[in-house]
Amino acid sequence: MRFQTEKMRPPRALWVPFELGRPFGTPNDPEFQTKVLKALLGTLEPENGPVLADFDEDAPPSPADTGDDQEAWACPIELQAPPPQTKGDDDALEQALLREIGQLRPWYELSVEQRGRTTVGVSPLDIEGNARYIAAFLGDEWPDSPSEDMSATVALKHAFEDMRAWYFEAVAAQPGRVTGTSTQIIDWFWHETTAGAVLKKLDEVCRESDDEVMQAFGGFLLLPRYVTGSVGDGSDGRRNAEYGDNPAIAAE
């Protein structure tokens, strides 16, 4: 944010207008990325500072988003509606999640083939293992961490990271379709998939938990503000907790 940079006064800075998470503008657009990078390097030239320059040009659409059928973005498979979320249906929810993963798997594999890479792999578990591990937190007995290197809660966070990355990559892969904007993918993931339903339920479990770390996890590390539409009232630590103010999870 420009006002934050004005307040902190770093020696040389470039303000850019792009979506948060894309500081160099547009994926797979080397020309535009180079333009941003050269503007950033340009802030090194003045003899006096602080320097705060503006890059006042919006990012062009991603090459993947400019196909003829741009309007046709849609989920590549017809997913079954998430099952009802009543107490006692945790096993059914886990089975539905595993079925959904099975349906999406060909698209995930196609994505890896097309992109030549995947960003899945933070968690030591595979996608089915992550699904089972996350679903187990909906039951009465929470599972142990799958790794000696991390607590059960950190492992839960990484399982969530991997599941989200796996779904995002899978849905972006349908041939003849466009990648979709990030908000389309977020809407799809959180509102139309069983994975989204499971994670929303996990959010509730976390909030109702006596465990401070789990409360914090549910409070602000699972659902994006784009989905909750709120920063909360601040009393749950949400306002600044993402930035390490919550002593419970700072210790994890």
Partner 1 sequence: MARWEELPEYEREYLAGLRLPEFDHTPWTPAKPLSERRIALISTAGIERRGDKPYPFFSGEFRLIPTDVDPSELVMSHLSPNFDRTGFQQDINVVIPIDRMRELEAEGFIGSVAKFHYAFMGGSQPQDMEPHVPELARLLRGDEVDTVLMCPV
Contact status: 16 vs partner 1 (CB under 8 A): yes
By beta-carbon proximity to partner 1, the closer residue of 132 and 239 is 239
Strand pairing report for 12-15 and 51-54: parallel
Count of CA atoms in the C-beta half-sphere (13 A) of 213:
11
Binding footprint of partner 1, residue count (CB under 8 A): 82
Query: Residue 95 CB, nearest distance to partner 1 (Å)?
Result: 26
Residue 226 binds partner 1, judged by CB under 8 A:
yes
Residue whose C-alpha is closest to residue 154's, from 35, 42, 250, 58: 250
Among 64, 77, 110, 205, binds partner 1 (CB under 8 A): 64
**Contact flag: residue 192 with partner 1 (CB under 8 A):** no
- Sketch the per residue contact string, 141 through 160, with partner 1: x for CB under 8 A, - otherwise: --------xx--xx--xx--
Asked if residue 137 lies in contact with residue 156, where contact means CB atoms within 8 angstroms, the answer is: yes
In angstroms, rounded to a whole number, what is the distance separating the alpha carbons of residues 113 and 169? 11
Under the binding rule (CB under 8 A), the answer on residue 222 touching partner 1 is yes
Strand, helix or coil for residue 83: coil
Contact 39, 66 (CB under 8 A): no
96, 97, 152, 172: residue in contact with partner 1 (rule CB under 8 A): 172
Q: Which amino acid is at 207?
A: R
Is 191 near partner 1 (CB under 8 A)? no
Tokens encoding 159: 């399982």
Counting contacts by CB under 8 A, is residue 72 touching partner 1?
Answer: no
Q: Which stretch binds partner 1 (CB under 8 A): 71-79, 81-89, 128-136, 216-224?
A: 216-224
Q: Does the footprint of partner 1 cover residue 102 (CB under 8 A)?
A: no
Residue 38 interacts with partner 1 (CB under 8 A): yes or no: yes
Tokens of 77: 């498979």
